[in-house]
Amino acid sequence: MPADARRLLHRLGPIPAYLVNDLEDIVAWNAAAAALITDFAQLPVHERDTVRLAIRLGGTLRSAPVGAEGDFARQSAAHLRAAGARHPADRALGELVNEYAAHTPDFVAGWRSHDVRPRPTLRKRLHHPALGELELDRQTLLMPGTSLRLVLYTADPGSPSATALAQLGPPAAAP
């Protein structure tokens, strides 16, 4: 894990953010992401991936998606196909695809469509038990020189969701 990537995560303060690899494993996160989604440190390492969290462990998350769960499963299939194109001999990828297919018909439909694309930027609605309903944009940025992606959740400035996000963590650290 590059030290500069870890520093960046913690400088984001109340902006929930985490780093994922090509297999969607969450390899690092900040306090705001843990407060918004789940306490990643309490999960076994093999359960710290975005698809497994959304599809299999949805009931244990602090914030549950509101609607569009099928869209996430289909987007996950397209993203994992793209990862498979970059890593065709990766056995772990095949195991993940089989696991997700066993639990999610929408993932199977997405896999069979043969779409190959990275995750799009999108607007998500989440329900958090303490903060209520949040409308957030999920952006994904490539980390230069690595296969990692930085995933951030932001809200429109001045919106109720932005006010709620500000409660998740300390102010952003100075550079």
- Residue 78 pLDDT greater than 70, yes or no: yes
Span 142-158, average pLDDT: 91
- Note whether residue 172 is domain-resident: no
- Number of domains composing the chain: 1
What integer pLDDT is reported at residue 129 of this predicted model?
Answer: 84
CATH number at residue 9: 3.30.450.180
Q: Is the pTM of this model over 0.75?
A: yes
What integer pLDDT is reported at residue 105 of this predicted model?
Answer: 82
User: What residues make up the domain containing 33?
Assistant: 3-165
Q: How confident is the model at residue 151 (pLDDT cuts 50, 70, 90)?
A: very high
d(CA 1, CA 93): 21
- Note whether residue 123 is domain-resident: yes
What percent of the chain shows pLDDT beyond 70? 84
Q: How confident is the model at residue 60 (pLDDT cuts 50, 70, 90)?
A: very low
- Note whether residue 76 is domain-resident: yes
Select the more confidently predicted residue: 17 or 69: 17
In single-letter form, the type of residue at position 97 comes to: V
What integer pLDDT is reported at residue 58 of this predicted model?
Answer: 54
What is the DSSP code string of 57-113?
A: SGGG-SSEE-S-HHHHHHHHHHHHHHHHHH-TT-HHHHHHHHHHHHH-HHHHHHHHT
In single-letter form, the type of residue at position 34 comes to: A
- Note whether residue 117 is domain-resident: yes
- Note whether residue 139 is domain-resident: yes
Instruction: Give the burial class of 157: count Cβ atoms within 10 A of its Cβ; 0-12 exposed, 13-18 middle, 19 or more buried.
Output: exposed
Phi and psi for 155 in degrees, rounded to 5? -125, 160
- Residue 26 pLDDT greater than 50, yes or no: yes
Tens-digit pLDDT profile for residues 96-113: 888 888 877 888 888 888
Q: Is 129 helix (H, G, I), strand (E, B) or coil?
A: coil
